[in-house]
Structure 1
């Protein structure tokens, strides 16, 4: 499609948008009595209007039924999490038995590493990407230290080539092959939080398995954002947070994937009673008998009040479907990229650089923009003028045009504010 940097063209794209009605399903912060331009769904998604009702339903059941809500609520708390199996399996490309919800993201990655990071004297190394999200880095460090290994030896980072912003697939594969028999685990973010680069998880998984390692992914920036096919890619495990692209609320519950090939295996795990055989859970038996499937990795009674808004959002995703979301994602991200290039060409001197891959197969709905001009002052200007984005050192703003609620008119208006900001700060 040939884009135009005009309000009329942006409004035409919005009129043709088959997801346009979903914008009204969300609550936007206000700036001068207008909706903000919201680019931080990659940090915290907007609140779905229907989430409040789902929470109120739980509150009402708690008030009217008290403990009996576990069994007699309209959505009984006893099996509340099972309602996620079908919609989440479609979002991440899994079988319903392979997904569950529990805890929070880093907690779940730690718990999954109990099962999938089983270092030996000769096979103990972990491969991750350079500049992984800090929580992942801390997790890797504490895990290898817990097992008695030297962090500098056991953790292998795949680095970007000199002068490049993104990691090449061939370098990932080469590093996996180089570490070879010493490699216990590959654990990479499906989408790099800083650059927005999407990794080829299928090829990475195949390479890891070829040298005898387990392969998992942190899908914090991937779930609800990109097309995933975890089962068919043969990924061993994965976890994701729900509060970014899936709009479940701040710090909310995490989703987990465990491939069905591991369901029958006698894998070590940190057990808890909610992962015990559901039919016998209240018999209070002394020996752990795990639920078949990913639910067998659950530990504690689930936080139903937290799950309620997540369920509201998961059901919205089921209504829309990932194919429609990705179709709009690609179009609106490309339009934003076009707007940025138009503004940069209009203003003398190089003001900014998009460091996210231009290939649509290697990116999702985030463009990371390295500011060569005004830097932090420009970010502050945007925030003061109704554009909610975020800042990452040393000089990057991340823009995530989430297809569920961002509009093409938002992209045009952002471009105008950006241009005004650059001129005003010169």
Structure 2
């Protein structure tokens, strides 16, 4: 997605390169991406492309250029030693000057609209903190940084938002260092500190032995939320989701449906594990097993919608007459002709102005009861009653609990 550009050093000592990634729409707020000790390698470029999909003009400057331009190291033991040597020889103050130069480039870049932010990992996290203290940035975000406890005297200069993610088992930022950082920063209104227990350094780097996907996903959502709220971009997620559903269930157009999604999306219907990962598999699923496979009277009735900065959670009633085989919902089950109504929950994640994924949940036991495949007698399951109670909370509760009557006179 990106390209290389040249950045002039503020001290007149030369020029250095930066990897620039621009959103598909061509413009957005500016984000300077700060490297780990391994240079602007493939991982950094992938992160830059990722945040470009989120809607940002991303610039990842080569911060080791004063020692060795164009460092791109992997993660072998030998390369780690080389990276650590570069880290030891790194001039932090000049590095901040170079970050400020990169911010200046974005500030003048015609494709940049809105504010400016910095985002860094490892070494880049400490530099993100120092950039918040010394540079004019709206948001600074750092993942598993180390050494910030030695610079807490600069915290009074932070004017923008600071978000720091810490790994609970990080040997490079042990508990004592975190405690000092929390003591110096936690009480500030413009600072967010997050701890991910029992994960280690580099928990957000895909491919790392310490990669922990749940923590990485949570940290990313918190990071993008901070960016959205301070510098944008702002999207009408409700309208985007409604249009996607229109193409799925009303016009039933697969190409239009896919056009609302990122290049490599995925859908996971949790109870039946149906859907698809990546464009080709998801297109195949939509084309042959979903869009034209729903009964003619399929209906989505909205109950509630929660709209966040990066995702939507929809609570719905899903109803239909089981007049055809529905691959994704009741795979392998011949039509029963029965009317079905079930509560359904959709967690819809966006990347920029496109859908990234859908996690869809429903009570499969209730569905099986309603089509006659599961006898609820003696089982803690219900049929269409679950949908009725969602609409009318005054209907009896605890009807499946044999012990409920016995607690009537208990305190």
- Give the TM-score taking structure 2 as reference length: 0.24
Select the structure with the greater relative contact order (CA < 8 A; seq sep ≥ 6): 1
Q: Normalising to structure 1: TM-score of the pair?
A: 0.23
